[in-house]
Amino acid sequence: MSLIEWDPSFSVGSARMDTDHKRLLEMLNTLYEAWLDGEGLTELNGMFDELLSYADTHFAAEEMALKAKSYPRTDKQQSDHRKLKDTVLAFRDRYLRGDKPAMLTEEMAKFLKSWLLEHILGEDILYKSYFRGD
């Protein structure tokens, strides 16, 4: 059961960013499905690490591309990215400390789905005109 599926309306005008966003959604779905299937802490911890590592790579590439385009909202992007990473780390830490997995899974899934949709459709989509043709 996927948490969120890619939709063409999520496209931000950059093939690289769209590919990254698709991969982030896939990773989020994999983590969510593993939680639902009752995977162990070791497996979930590895998935968290992979998701965070990929997000770091994506955020760095996105921020660099935005700076190269002199995008005026680059600082807002950086701030949003930091907040997301901090929140995901907090969820991860709570999970590893033993917070109730089912409740935490649902809470995190709702947060990530909401954040990703709001960020991609509300913030990232604003840079679409800077990347047309890239």
pLDDT digits (tens, 9 = 90+) for 24-41: 889 888 888 887 787 776
Q: How far apart are CA 107 and CA 101, in angstroms?
A: 10
Residue 60 has pLDDT above 70, yes or no: yes
Residue 31: predicted pLDDT: 80
Residue 62 has pLDDT above 80, yes or no: yes
Mean of the per-residue pLDDT values of the chain: 85
Place 99 in a pLDDT band, splitting at 50, 70 and 90: low
**Domains of the chain, earliest start first:** 12-131 (1.20.120.50)
The three-state secondary structure class of 32 is: helix
The residue to which tokens 């604003």 are assigned: 126
What mean pLDDT comes out for the span 90-109? 73
DSSP code string of 55-103: HHHHHHHHHHHHHHTT-TTHHHHHHHHHHHHHHHHHHHHHHHHT--HHH
Determine contact, residues 12/61, Cβ cutoff 8 Å: no
Q: How far apart are CA 35 and CA 94, in angstroms?
A: 14
